[in-house]
């Protein structure tokens, strides 16, 4: 299968990390190797790129690109970026990186991969795990078939912002009593029965969009993984190194914003404590007070970029 993905905000990300020959970079989300290939060229033979992805499809595609383009400075790690430090422990470069980049969510290639179930456009195996290969019994099917009704409602409402979450959770629970839900088509039929017809016909977005987003986030534990990787990324950066995150929905962006804010402050004691007890020290300078959005022309060429938000933080230089 050809791996198709247009990198989002590539120029803005490269401007943010402003690389030079010999630099060392971690790309937490290899995807179609769009960022990784450009970074590899910019840092040259004396530099290094370490790229993570949960998805073997991305890793195998990158191996081909590396061979074709004769890139010699890339190390691929087929694991979650939340295992950043563990992944680095097996290789020579463990810290003092010039930049860490993350381009969250899924790639266009994953969306159209018919072995899995990220898309509501086709009837495929219900599997929205980034590292999955369409096996039955995957995390998405576990959530849909075995999560309690209230918890399911919470997932669909909180991660998807779906206003019909209660009806949808009830519909799923009713349907799964008859037979396990194993295909995207089965889930779509349930959603169509639960969501009012007037809404299905009038909404600008497909009626399954929000539920699919929610199940994808839950299947991959996306928010927890993001919370876990940010401190590790900051730790392995060298002073003055940059942490750049592109996110695609407000839940992710809020985590990044909050992390930057907290790591920017010297004291993180609750306001009711009169004298600082936390001994927390500011570790990061916030470069983007407001997130950067994709340009109008990029959005026109690549509609996927319309919800992208880019935030940049810079690890504090050593205090004299
Ligand atoms: C939007 S794509 C990245 C595209 C890439 N920047 C490019 O230019 O081609 C996101 C990739 O991150 C991977 N991914 C998402 N969450 C991950 C995680 N927690 N750990 C590792 N990889 C992850 C997905 O499998 C997907 O391949």
pLDDT in tens, 126-185: 999 999 988 999 999 999 999 999 999 999 999 999 999 999 999 999 999 999 999 999
Model confidence band, residue 293 (pLDDT cutoffs 50, 70, 90): very high
Ligand 1, atom nearest to 27 Cα: 6
Average of per-residue pLDDT across 227-242: 98
Query: At how many degrees (to 10) do helices 149-160 and 139-146 cross?
Result: 130
How far is residue 69's CA from residue 89's CA, in Å, rounded to a whole number? Answer: 27
Backbone phi and psi for residue 49, each to the nearest 5 degrees, phi listed first: -125, 130
CB under 8 Å to 312, separation ≥6 — which residues? 16, 242, 243, 244, 286, 287, 288, 292
Ligand 1, atom nearest to 57 Cα: 27
pLDDT, position 319: 59
pLDDT in tens, 255-279: 999 999 999 998 888 888 888 888 8
Angle of CA points 21, 256, 264, to nearest 5°: 80
How far is residue 296's CA from residue 148's CA, in Å, rounded to a whole number? Answer: 43
Please determine, for residue 247, whether its predicted confidence score (pLDDT) is greater than 60.
yes
Q: Are strands 24-27 and 48-52 parallel, antiparallel or unpaired?
A: parallel
Average of per-residue pLDDT across 62-84: 97
pLDDT, position 78: 97
Angle of CA points 55, 209, 135, to nearest 5°: 35
The binding-site residues of ligand 1, defined as CB within 6 angstroms of any ligand atom, are 5, 7, 29, 31-35, 52-55, 58, 80-82, 103, 105-107, 130, 225
Ligand 1, atom nearest to 109 Cα: 27
Return the residue whose CA atom lies nearest to atom 27 of ligand 1. 31
Q: Is 260 exposed, middle or buried (0-12, 13-18, 19+ CB in 10 A)?
A: buried
The three-state secondary structure class of 14 is helix
Average of per-residue pLDDT across 95-104: 96
- Of all residues in the chain, the percent with pLDDT exceeding 90 is 87
Q: Are strands 237-247 and 97-103 parallel, antiparallel or unpaired?
A: parallel
Average of per-residue pLDDT across 38-43: 98
Task: Give the CA distances from residue 292 to residues 13, 107, 176, 308, in Å, rounded to whole numbers and listed in that order.
Answer: 10, 20, 43, 8
Return the residue whose CA atom lies nearest to atom 18 of ligand 1. 80
The answer to whether the predicted template modeling score (pTM) of the entire model surpasses 0.75 is yes
CA of 157 to the centre of ligand 1 (A): 24
pLDDT, position 157: 98
**First CA to last CA distance, the chain:** 53
Q: Is 112 exposed, middle or buried (0-12, 13-18, 19+ CB in 10 A)?
A: middle
């Amino acid at each position: 299968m050809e791996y198709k993905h247009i990198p989002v905000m590539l120029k803005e990300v490269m401007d943010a990390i402003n690389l030079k020959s010999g630099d060392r970079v971690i790309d937490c989300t290899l995807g179609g190797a769009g960022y990784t290939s450009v970074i590899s060229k910019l840092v040259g033979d004396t530099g290094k790129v370490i790229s993570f992805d949960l998805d073997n499809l991305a890793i195998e595609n990158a191996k081909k690109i590396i061979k074709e383009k004769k890139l010699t400075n890339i190390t691929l790690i087929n694991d979650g970026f939340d295992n950043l430090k563990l992944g680095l422990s097996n290789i020579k470069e463990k810290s003092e990186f010039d930049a860490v980049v993350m381009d969250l969510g899924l790639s266009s290639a994953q969306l159209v991969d018919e072995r899995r179930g990220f898309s509501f456009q086709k009837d495929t195996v219900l599997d929205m795990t980034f590292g999955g290969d369409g096996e039955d019994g995957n995390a998405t099917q576990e959530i849909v078939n075995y999560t309690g009704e209230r918890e399911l409602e919470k997932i669909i409402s909180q991660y998807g912002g779906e206003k019909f979450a209660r009806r949808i959770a009830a519909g799923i629970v009713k349907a799964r009593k008859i037979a396990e839900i194993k295909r995207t088509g089965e889930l779509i039929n349930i959603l169509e029965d639960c969501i009012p017809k007037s809404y299905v016909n009038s909404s600008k977005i497909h009626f399954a969009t929000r539920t699919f987003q929610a199940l994808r986030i839950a299947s991959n534990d996306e928010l927890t993984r993001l919370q876990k990787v940010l401190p590790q990324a900051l730790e392995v950066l060298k002073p003055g190194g940059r942490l750049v995150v592109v996110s695609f929905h407000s839940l992710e962006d809020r985590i990044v914003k909050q992390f930057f804010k907290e790591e920017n402050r010297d004291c993180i004691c609750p306001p009711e404590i009169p004298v600082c007890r936390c001994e927390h020290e500011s570790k990061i300078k916030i470069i983007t007070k407001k997130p950067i959005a994709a340009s109008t022309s990029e959005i026109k060429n690549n509609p996927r970029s319309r919800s992208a938000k880019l935030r940049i933080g810079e690890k504090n230089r050593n205090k004299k």
